[in-house]
Amino acid sequence: MQVANKAIEEMLKNADPQSRKVMANILTGRVVARIYCLSEDITGTREVPVLDEDGNQVLYKTGKNKGQPKTITEKYLQREGCKGRLIGEIYDNGRAESIADEDGNHWLRATRKRLDGAVGCECWCGQDSRISAQEAGDLKFDGQPPTKQGLESIFKKIEKNPTTVEIKNGRAEVDGFAFEELQ
| Chain segment 5-39, per-residue pLDDT in tens | 677 777 777 777 767 766 666 666 788 899 999 99
| Same structural domain, 130 and 54 | no
The pLDDT of residue 140: 77
| Same structural domain, 30 and 64 | no
| Same structural domain, 100 and 16 | yes
Q: Which has more confidence, 179 or 12?
A: 179
| Same structural domain, 53 and 135 | no
The pLDDT of residue 2: 56
| Chain segment 47-66, per-residue pLDDT in tens | 888 999 998 999 999 989 89
Cα separation of 82 and 40, whole Å? 6
The backbone torsions φ and ψ at residue 150, rounded to the nearest 5 degrees and listed phi first, read -65, -45
Could you write out the DSSP letters of every residue in 9-27?
HHHHHHS-HHHHHHHHHHH
| Chain segment 57-102, per-residue pLDDT in tens | 999 999 898 999 998 888 877 778 899 999 999 988 888 999 888 8
- Report the number of distinct structural domains present in the chain: 2
3-state secondary structure (DSSP) of residue 154: helix
pTM beyond 0.75: the answer is: no
| Same structural domain, 29 and 75 | no
Q: Kindly compute the dihedral angle of the four CA atoms of residues 17, 18, 20, 25, in this order, to the nearest 10 degrees.
A: 140
Q: What is the mean pLDDT of the chain?
A: 86
| Chain segment 98-115, per-residue pLDDT in tens | 988 888 889 999 999 999
Q: Which domain holds residue 30?
A: 2-41+81-181
H/E stretch holding 109 = strand 108-113
The backbone torsions φ and ψ at residue 123, rounded to the nearest 5 degrees and listed phi first, read -110, 150
Kindly list the distances between the CA atom of residue 100 and the CA atoms of 14, 65, 86, 104, in Å, as whole numbers in the listed order: 18, 53, 9, 5
| Closest C-alpha to 73, from 97, 43, 46 | 46
Mean pLDDT throughout 159-169? 90
